[in-house]
């Protein structure tokens, strides 16, 4: 008897014709997180993005000048973190390929330094391959960074995580100040928590333009807020 195809979680890096990639590539030191698709019609799709930058006006200007963007709206604006929506031509959107293959993003996805970094949930490997083949025909360059198959218990846990776990993480993120989030996020992305470390606290502080002691204190405060909640989530999904 043939075993049932297993779902899997895959981390992907993708480079393609994308408005957020082009904007991030032009303006540097910007991170754009796709949050949700809020509207769609026959020709266009509207997406909600979280923007991490102090250059919001420049981003909005570049988007409004982009050949595929029809409309840009600022939803909320903060000193470092803001939310915007923009409506763009549907032919460059990834959503139709996700729908066709039954795959989906475990949002948020984010764009930085010329590429999209996304985590995908695929019902099976065949669906993943179908997605990669389909988007490759449309000029996407896809790299699989990691993949892991889920057993039945983990699939149930993932559903739980999407409710209880995600809600707790969302609450945790709101506990961090913008500066704590910036330092913690940079530490994760540059490999501070990897073994061996890919960046030292001194190098991290230099990138941020702050003292080593300030950098270490910001990290400690972020960790104290996040680790207890992470422990709760691990109990949920195990």
Task: Note whether 154 and 234 are within 8 A (CB).
Answer: no
- 1: pLDDT strictly greater than 50: no
Q: Quick one: pLDDT at residue 45? A: 84
The 10 Å Cβ neighbour count of residue 134 is 15
Q: What percent of the chain has pLDDT over 70?
A: 81
Where is pLDDT greater, at 110 or 202? 202
Cα dihedral 66, 72, 75, 77, rounded to 10, equals 40
Euclidean distance between CA atoms 80 and 179, whole angstroms: 9
Token pair listed for 222: 């972020």
Is residue 2 very low, low, confident or very high in pLDDT (cuts 50, 70, 90)? very low
The model's pLDDT over 130-168, given as tens digits with 9 standing for 90+, comes to 999 998 988 888 999 888 887 665 554 555 444 444 445
- 59: pLDDT strictly greater than 60: yes
For all residues of the chain together, what is the average pLDDT? 79
Is residue 201 very low, low, confident or very high in pLDDT (cuts 50, 70, 90)? very high
């Amino acid at each position: 008897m043939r075993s049932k195809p297993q779902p899997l979680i895959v981390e992907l890096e993708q480079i393609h014709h994308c408005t957020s990639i082009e904007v991030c590539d032009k303006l540097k030191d910007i991170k754009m997180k796709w949050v949700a698709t809020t509207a769609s019609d026959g020709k266009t799709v509207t997406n909600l993005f979280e923007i991490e930058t102090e250059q919001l006006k420049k981003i909005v200007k570049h988007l409004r000048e982009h050949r595929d963007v029809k409309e840009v709206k600022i939803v909320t604006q903060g000193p470092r973190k803001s939310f915007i929506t923009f409506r763009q031509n549907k032919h460059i959107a990834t959503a139709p390929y996700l729908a066709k293959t039954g795959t989906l993003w475990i949002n948020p996805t984010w764009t930085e330094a010329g590429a999209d970094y996304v985590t995908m949930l695929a019902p099976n490997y065949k669906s993943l391959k179908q997605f990669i083949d389909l988007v490759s025909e449309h000029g996407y360059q896809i790299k699989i960074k990691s993949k892991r198959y889920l057993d039945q218990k983990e699939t149930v846990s993932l559903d739980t995580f999407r409710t209880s776990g995600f809600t707790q993480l969302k609450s945790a993120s709101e506990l961090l100040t913008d500066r704590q989030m910036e330092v913690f996020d940079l530490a994760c992305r540059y490999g501070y928590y990897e073994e061996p470390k890919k960046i030292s606290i001194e190098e991290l502080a230099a990138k941020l333009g702050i003292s080593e002691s300030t950098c270490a204190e910001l990290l400690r405060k972020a960790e104290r807020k996040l680790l207890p909640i992470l422990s709760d989530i691990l109990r949920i999904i195990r």
